[in-house]
Structure 1
Amino acid sequence: MDFQKVPSEVVSWEEIERWAEIIVEKIGDFKFDCVISVIRGGLVPSRIVADYLGIKDIFTLKTEHWGITATPDGKARVTYPIVKDLTGQSVLVVDDITDTGQSLGLAIEATKQKNPRIVKSATFLYIKKAAMAPDYFAEEISAENWKWFIFPWNRREDLRNLILDCSNGGTKEDIASCLALKYDLYISRREFDETFSWLEHHSKIRIDNGKILKI
């Protein structure tokens, strides 16, 4: 089996809560007026952080950089800008992870164009090789220890994409072996079968004499 290894890690809700608490502790007594959620990855983290901070105003901005799971998709770009005027406000930009730093950097620049008084940024994870660091982060990951983090809010999407990546005419057992060897990923048989059922129902794969083929 010839492939480039891409280690992954499944993140639990308990870890998410712990990371949110660390970020809030680092923010301390500083008062933000609103939160900018960098969607899609920052949608859930921004709501959790805003809940801890008691912030009701959450606005969204969408950037795109990662296409297929664990595969960068060219240069980051803003696809849905902020529509709210932020003049004079203290703003916290929240995403799930600072990986390359491109998406967060774009989000911060787009936010500054709305005339806020202060812009700070926060992500749960910061990969040290990134082009920039957020003002607040829960954990720093060295470039050598980089992995694909499977967050709870995109778990099913990631599993579907990773299983599709391993669907090259082998059996279910071959795909399970590919997930383990290529991605360090082990999931329950129930979740494995549920994902297969979804892929088959949505015409992403077909099963021919026990062999799994992408459509």
Structure 2
Amino acid sequence: MYINWVGTYLNVPKIPVKVVTFDEIVEWSRKLAEKIKESNWQPDVIVAVARGGYVPARLLCDWLGVSDLLSVQVVHWPSAAQIAEKAYVKYPINVDLSGKRVLVVDDIVDTGDSIELAKKSLEECCRPKEVKTAALQVITSVAKFMPDFYAVEVREWIWFAYQWNAVEDATGFIMKIVKETGKTEWCLDELIQAHLEWYGSEYVEKRFGYMLYALDMLVKRGYIKLSKCLASPNIAVR
């Protein structure tokens, strides 16, 4: 699908978005597993940083032959492209990991606060032999904490739209538009146009169904109103 739209929201904050495919996730996790193997270090237990680390951690269990998988939840990004003031451990774990080599896994490291907090939490409560960290991607231009292992280096900040939070992203993006513009009543054409100009055509084309799903939820919950468009914009779809 190709959309050509003459925009009207020219003075809006642009957020670069990259839609990540599941094939890319599998390939990155394989590459990450190979790097861990090449280091001659083998974890006994893998701990996912919930929630983004669940799928990468499970894939690493498969690639590395690890059967013990736990999770700790660290809250850092309350909604899409919106950062909390301070990361904190919401749901820690408290199990005896004495003598165990532990690998803490997240999907992406931006500042690194989440994975660093998870690592410290495990070291303080669970008495592991050793804790190392890993992520599929690292945004090196903003990272304050670098994981021990990572598959992909990202040099400039971008919002990676993973499959496991597609509806959550769509909801957050819509509400960001509502908040920034102060406009709570939209026609669908206007909202699509705003998405194109804020988040780009790739996001709109690949996540259009999720946008509609999220919009329906937000309308039913009273966060946004839909009106009939008075005039149709210049759209070409193929």
- TM-score, normalising length from structure 1? 0.90
Does residue 122 in structure 1 map to residue 134 in structure 2?
yes
What is the DSSP-based 3-state SS (H/G/I as helix, E as strand, rest coil) of the residue aligned with 1:74? coil
**Using the alignment, how far apart are the partners of 2:118 and 2:139 within structure 1?**
17
Please list, as runs of the form range in 1=range in 2, the aligned pairs for 1:8-157 lying within 5 A after superposition.
8-28=17-37, 29-113=40-124, 114-128=126-140, 129-142=142-155, 145-157=156-168
SS at 1:97 equivalent: strand
Greater share of residues in strand: 1
| Letter paired with 1:151 | Y
Structure 2 residue runs of 5 or longer lacking an equivalent are: 1-8, 231-238
Q: Which runs of 5+ in 1 are unaligned?
A: none
Q: Is the 8 A contact 1:7 1:147 kept in 2?
A: yes
Greater Rg over alpha carbons, structure: 2
Mapped partners of 2:115, 2:213: distance in 1: 34
Q: Which amino acid aligns with 1:105?
A: E
Cα distance in 1, alignment partners of residues 131 and 107 from structure 2: 17
User: Helix, strand or coil for the counterpart of 2:204?
Assistant: coil
Return closer, same or farther for 1:190/1:102 CA change in 2, 3 Å cut-off. Answer: closer
Deviation, structure 1 residue 67: 1.4
RMSD: 1.8
One of 189, 212, 220 as aligned partner of 1:173:
189
- In 1, Cα distance between the equivalents of 2:210 and 2:167? 9
Q: What does residue 7 of structure 1 align with? A: 16
Moved more, 178-187 or 67-76: 178-187
Runs of 4+ in 1 over 6 A off after TM superposition: none
Partners of 2:210 and 2:121 lie apart in 1 by: 39
Is residue 225 of structure 2 the alignment partner of residue 206 of structure 1? yes
Corresponding residue SS for 2:118: helix
Looking at both structures, which has the greater relative contact order when contacts are Cα pairs under 8 Å and sequence separation is at least 6?
A: 2
Offset of residue 72 of structure 1: 0.6
- Deviations 1:153-194 (CA, angstroms, capped at 9, x unpaired): 001110122123234333212211211211123235544433
SS of 1:66's equivalent in the other structure is coil
Aligned residues: 209
